[in-house]
Amino acid sequence: MLALLPKGRPALARWLALAVAVAGLGLAVQGFVAGMGQGRTVIVDLPWVPSMGIHFLLAADGISRVLVLLTGLAAVAGVLFSWNIELRTNEFFAFFLALIGGVYGVFLSFDLFLLFVFYEVAIVPKYFLIAIWGSTRREYAAMKLALYSFVGSAMVLIGLLAAYATAGSHSTGLIELAHAGLPVSFQMWCFPLVFTGFAILAGMWPFHTWAPTGHVAAPTAASMLLAGVVMKLGAYGCLRVGIALFPHGLDPWGFSFAGLGSWRDVFAVLAVVGIVYGALVALAQTDFKFVIGYSSVSHMGFVLLGLMTLNQIGVTGAVLQMFSHGIIAGLLFAIVGRIVYDRTHTRQFAELETMHLSKRLPFAAWAFVIAGMASMGLPGFSGFVAELQVLVGAWKVNPWWVAAAGVGIVVGVAYTWRAMQKAFFSDALPAAHVLEQEQGHPLAAITWPEVTGVALLVGVSLAVGLYPRILLDTIEPAVKALLAGGGQ
Amino acid sequence: MNYADLFRATLPETALEVAALVVLVVDLGLLRKAALKARLAVAALVGVAGCGAALWAVLLQGTEGLSYQGTGELLLTTGGFTAAAQVGILALTALTLMLLIDANFTRHVGEYVAVVLMAATGGLLIAAAQDLLVIFVGLELLSLGLYILTAFAKRSGKSAEAALKYYLFGGMSAAFLLFGFSYLYGITGSTNLHQILLAVYGWDAFHAAPLLYVSIVLIAAGLGFKVAAVPFYLWAPDTYEGAPAPAAAFIASVSKVASFALLIAISTAALHVFDGAHAHMIARVEIHTYLAPQPIYLGFLIPWSLILTVLSAASMVLGNLAALAQTSVRRLLAYSAIAHAGYILLGLAFFSYSSRSAVAVLYYVLTYGLTTVGAFGVVAVVERATGSDKMDAFLGLHKRNPVLAAVLLVLFLSLAGIPPLVGFWAKFNLFAAVLGVSAGPVAFGLVALAVALSAVSLYYYLQVLKRAYVMQGVDDTPIKAHPVTLAVLVGIAASVVVLGCFPALLTGWIGGFAK
């Protein structure tokens, strides 16, 4: 999946990247449709390192299919929204597609080792995408992101090695390891290690700080991917590896400290803190893109909270929230980064307020209204179904979590509303000469890739919001199987 | 004494020595009037041919191997992991010779190649040695060669300074080593590795336990110097910085492989003897502690592992942290070499009776050597074009020579241990082997430390890559590399990728040498 093309032909690179992304999406849709109602299907199974029992095992269950579909959508939208990249176009799309390839690999790996390899493969392209094509403090943000990711994956690697050595089995297959009967005491300390390692990438508070800076500095397509897909890698790892391999890691400790009686309580509380904290910080930002960046932290908190419910509805909600947030965050970043910033060259609310964007960029304004509603979790959009399920699942476990998360939702409405108003619908009426001046310098017209990308993402979010069964039917059996004991 | 046996057992070494003489004759005799370029090409070609011949000789000996016994005691063995290490030494030597093709640091081409080949002979000897004297002779042959190679850029003050430092430290450490060997001989009355280790478990060595520990420490100091382990690393940054690039590549790769092959041999021998004498020794310890409340006698293996563990932990920490502060890429590579030596020593400290640890350590050393040769090759080209090995000399490399930048990207990411490149598999293999030996808190803690520090190492490798790919260059004139150099570097990068994608290839190959 590498586009090493001749220089000086950016158009070719764009179309090729689009073709690859669309082909990926096509395969994802085909796999999704073909896999409906089926359990786990194995795609490739080849011995890779026979002496250590490592297999090149790609397979898909319901959870994988949904997330692969998300990746396909995000990839297509990402290419569409980076149509205007002029600097080193070939390399940009090469890194972009390498990242996408790594992500597909993680979602499809059913060998712990292979999963880890793909997980790390995704780190390096992120660094270069941000460091070369980024904006605000890009080198700092890129290095921070790369090191956070690598530290997280180092924790995962330690856990992986320990699990492999402890299980004493001759296989690194996820299902074999889940059935290896790892001792409870081992799971107790290995679970938090691996879970935290993955959760760093899922933006769990207090390890989230890479996320806002990274999202803001990244070029539009990369922020879409980071928030839309890469953070899901972390959450997916938490579920597929953390919870599935070390189910006893979540058992009660047998004592309680400050109201926390198990790792489950610890991580659930961190998730709730992330929801509220992310929302509150988003409310105080002056940079449009930081608002979206912190909102991602808040929304990913719902995913982690859903995972920690450990019941059918909560975990299903978490997976659906991964999908939903992937679409919505991608859309928000696309509007802020591509449609608005590339034309106005500022993301500061103070400056945007004076630009009357609702008049000059009506398309952007209305797209943001729709995306904002989706992000707030209004019924009819995918976010509503997902967050509702998470909250219902959490209520069964501990109503206080729900109460706190509810605060996060309310603040979420507030910051979205504030951003919308400040950026697009400021009240001040323009003076006549300002209007004239503005008409003298019209902002560049909206191009077809932007319209297509927005339509694609809004359409998907609406479709899932109005008829959630389309995804739920696929997710539910897989979650059930996973909670019952590490997959089929 | 049988000279035919000796000849057969030392055929690879002989081949290299002959090649060294041929190089001298050809270069000094036949090509005296020829241009420097032609002389370089011919000398490198003859050297590579010599390595090829020696390689053929190694393979001829087969995996079963031969052994040469002097007056009743085993001096040399071939085959087995020795052969794997020797193949590695010869291949890496050939690669460093190919990088010589457009060198301009010396006019004494023939001498340079001859010294390289002689040093490689020393490396082959060390890898095969089973006797303290042969070990020492091999080490000295290798080391003397390296001192000369370091000083070869006669017009460069740095080169002379580095060589002098290297020589002084090296002489000191050789003295330590010899001192340790002499104690060992005094305790056990033998110079053969197996005899010594057997005797160490006997009653005689038991009385001389303090002396034995002193000698273990001295030997570890001497060998720790060769592999640049903390605290015997001080020569490394200066030497890596001052030596001509092909010589630095040779020091960083071939000399490392040979030294680690020796450490593998010692650890393997210690374990095998330990296995035989285990029950015996436990009984001794009990009797001893019962009769007299003196320090418990620990034998050879436990103090040996202990000291390797300490060296390993210190090297990992200091190497990785010091590398963070470097501005010169060569010094950075030196500190990263110290860190990598730390990882490898961890594998040696927790050594398994089965061949698994030996395979993992060899895998690590060979792939690390390959990667480092490539890295020095890139540094050499950039240095020639910009006159500096500072990180800023790499600014905008992706524009000035995209192929070179891509090679650098692959090699440095491999050194950082990013999959699917070979460096990741080397680390994974090694750490899995360590945990396979002991899953106790010490082993686990050290592995955790190593993994955490390799996350740190990504930072400094990215510092260089950032300059090559991200930051704007001040000078965009293309950098030209000799086609042969470029081909070698691309070949190295390609093999790093291929071996990384199919890790079973190399483990299978090395494992095939297990006796």
Mutate to test the interface with B, among A158, A166, A186, A190 (most CBs of B within 10 A): A158
Between chains, do B432 and A147 touch, taking CB under 8 Å as contact? no
Phi, psi of A250 (to 5 degrees): -95, -5
CA distance B445 to chain A (A): 10
Confidence of residue B317 (pLDDT cuts 50, 70, 90): very high
Distance (Å) from the C-alpha of residue B344 to the closest C-alpha of chain A?
Answer: 17
Q: Name, in order, each residue with C-beta under 8 angstroms of A38's C-beta and a sequence gap of 6 or more.
A: none
Q: Residue B248: how many CA atoms within 13 Å on its side-chain side?
A: 32
- Residue A8 binned pLDDT confidence (cut-offs 50, 70, 90): very low
pLDDT of residue A436: 63
Say yes or no: A128 contacts chain B, CB-CB below 8 A: yes
Q: What average pLDDT does the segment B39-49 reach?
A: 90
Q: Which range (A165-179, A206-220, B337-351, B376-390) has the least confidence?
A: A165-179
Which residues of chain B are within 8 Å of residue A157 when distances are taken between CB atoms?
428, 451
Residues in A closer than 8 angstroms to B419, CB to CB, are 116-117, 120-121
What digits encode the pLDDT tens for the residues B344-357?
A: 999 998 888 778 88
Checking if the pLDDT of B283 tops 60, the result is no
CA distance A253 to A271: 19
Average pLDDT over residues B94-123: 89
pLDDT at position B88 over 50: yes
Chain A residues within 8 A of B435 when measuring between CB atoms: 161-162, 164-165
Q: Is the pLDDT of residue B182 over 90?
A: yes
* A373-377, B18-22, B301-305: which is most confident: B18-22
Q: What is the mean pLDDT of residues B260-289?
A: 65
- With CB atoms and an 8 Å threshold, state whether A165 touches B436: yes
CA distance B437 to B354: 10
Closest partner CB to B507 (pick from A51, A128, A157): A51
Can you list the positions of beta strands (E) in A251-368?
Answer: 252-257, 260-262
Q: What is the pLDDT of residues A41-53, one digit of tens each?
A: 777 777 777 777 7
**Alpha helices, DSSP H only, in B438-482?**
441-469
Q: How far apart are CA B377 and CA B246, in angstroms?
A: 7
| Average pLDDT over every residue of B140-162 | 91
Interface membership of B234 toward A (CB under 8 Å): no
- Predicted confidence (pLDDT) at residue A437 exceeds the cutoff of 80: no
B470 in A contact zone (CB under 8 Å): yes
Q: Which two tokens stand for residue B507?
A: 């483990």
Q: Is A135 on the interface with B (CB under 8 A)?
A: no
DSSP 8-state code for residue B10:
T
CA atoms lying within 13 Å on the CB side of residue B225? 22
Read off the pLDDT of residues B328-341 as tens digits, 9 standing for 90 and up: 999 999 999 999 99
In chain A, residues with a C-beta closer than 8 Å to the C-beta of B464 are: none
Q: How far is the alpha carbon of B436 from chain A, nearest alpha carbon, in Å?
A: 6
pLDDT recorded at residue B371: 95
| Cross-chain residue pair A161–B507, CB shorter than 8 Å | no
> Among residues 496-515 of chain B, which lie with CB inside 8 Å of chain A?
503-504, 507-508, 511
CA distance A194 to A191: 5
Query: Interface pTM (ipTM) of the complex?
Result: 0.85
Helix (H) or strand (E) holding A47, with range, is strand A41-49
Residues of A in contact with B424 (CB under 8 A): 117, 120
Whether a cis peptide bond, with omega within 30° of 0, leads into B420 is: yes
How confident is the model at residue A105, as a pLDDT? 86
| Residue B8 near residue B66, CB atoms below 8 Å | yes
State mean pLDDT over B475-483.
83
Touching check for B442 and chain A: CB below 8 Å?
Answer: no
Q: Between A434 and A246, where is the model more confident?
A: A246
A106 CB near a chain B CB, below 8 Å? no
Range with top average pLDDT, A79-88, A220-229, B179-188: B179-188
Burial class of residue B355 (count of CB atoms within 10 Å of its CB; 0-12, 13-18, 19+): middle
Question: Residue A442: what pLDDT?
Answer: 63
For residue B491, pLDDT beyond 90 = yes
- Distance of alpha carbon B278 from alpha carbon A42, whole angstroms: 49
Q: What is the pTM of this model?
A: 0.89
Q: Name the minimum distance, in Å, from the CA of A154 to any CA of chain B.
A: 6
Q: How close A51 comes to chain B (CA, Å)?
A: 8
What residues of B are in contact with residue A164 (Cβ under 8 Å)? 432, 435
One-character DSSP codes across B293-326: -PPPP-TTHHHHHHHHHHHHHHHHHHHHHHHHT-
Q: Which residues contact A45 (CB under 8 A, 6 or more apart)?
A: A55, A56, A57, A58, A59
Q: What is the pLDDT of residue B270?
A: 79
Query: Tens of pLDDT along A371-423?
Result: 888 888 888 888 888 888 888 888 888 888 888 888 888 888 888 888 888 87
A120 Cβ under 8 Å from any chain B Cβ: yes
**pLDDT of A116-146, one tens digit each?**
888 888 888 888 888 888 777 788 888 888 8
Is A121 in CB contact (< 8 Å) with chain B? yes
**CA-based nearest residue in chain A for residue B451:** A154
> How much is the mean pLDDT over chain B?
86
In angstroms, how far is the first alpha carbon of chain A from the final one?
A: 30
Q: Rounded to whole angstroms, how far apart are CA atoms B46 and B453?
A: 42
In B28-87, the residues whose Cβ lies within 8 Å of chain A are none
Question: Residue B323 above 90 pLDDT?
Answer: yes
Query: A12: pLDDT confidence band, cut at 50, 70 and 90?
Result: low
B256-291 vs B301-324: helix axis angle to the nearest 10? Answer: 140
CA of B77 vs chain A CAs: smallest distance (Å): 27
Domain ranges of chain B: 3-511
Q: Is A147 an 8 Å CB contact of chain B?
A: yes
3-state DSSP helix/strand/coil % of chain A, to nearest 5: 75, 5, 20
Q: Do B420 and A166 touch (CB under 8 A)?
A: no
* Cβ pair A473, A36 in contact under 8 A: yes
Q: pLDDT grade, residue B502 (50/70/90)?
A: confident
Q: Which of A176-190, B16-30, B350-364 has the lowest mean pLDDT?
A: A176-190
Burial A115-148 (b: 16+ CB within 10 A, else e): bbbbbbbbbbbbbbbbbbbbbeebbebbbbbbbb
Q: Is the pLDDT of residue B445 over 60?
A: yes
Decide if B466 touches A, using CB distance below 8 A: yes
Q: How far is CA B143 from CA A118, B123, B158, B311, in A?
A: 42, 9, 19, 21
Count of pairs with CB atoms under 8 A, one residue in A, one in B: 76
Give the model's pLDDT for residue B286: 44
Cis-peptide, bond into residue B478, ω within 30° of zero: no
Structure confidence by residue, pLDDT tens digits, A233-256: 888 888 888 888 888 878 777 777
Six token digits for residue B156 = 């460069």
User: What is the spatial distance between Cα A106 and Cα A148, in angstroms, rounded to a whole number?
Assistant: 18
Amino acid letter at A67?
Answer: L
**Which range has the worst mean pLDDT, A423-427, B103-107, B211-215?**
A423-427
Q: Report whether pLDDT(B53) > 60.
A: yes
Tell me if B451 and A49 make a contact (CB, 8 A cut-off). no
Residue A433 pLDDT exceeds 70: no
Minimum-distance CB partner of B459 among A51, A128, A147: A147
Q: What are the residues whose beta carbons fall under 8 Å from the beta carbon of B140, sequence distance 6 or more? A: B122, B174
Give the C-alpha separation, A26 to A18, whole Å. Answer: 12
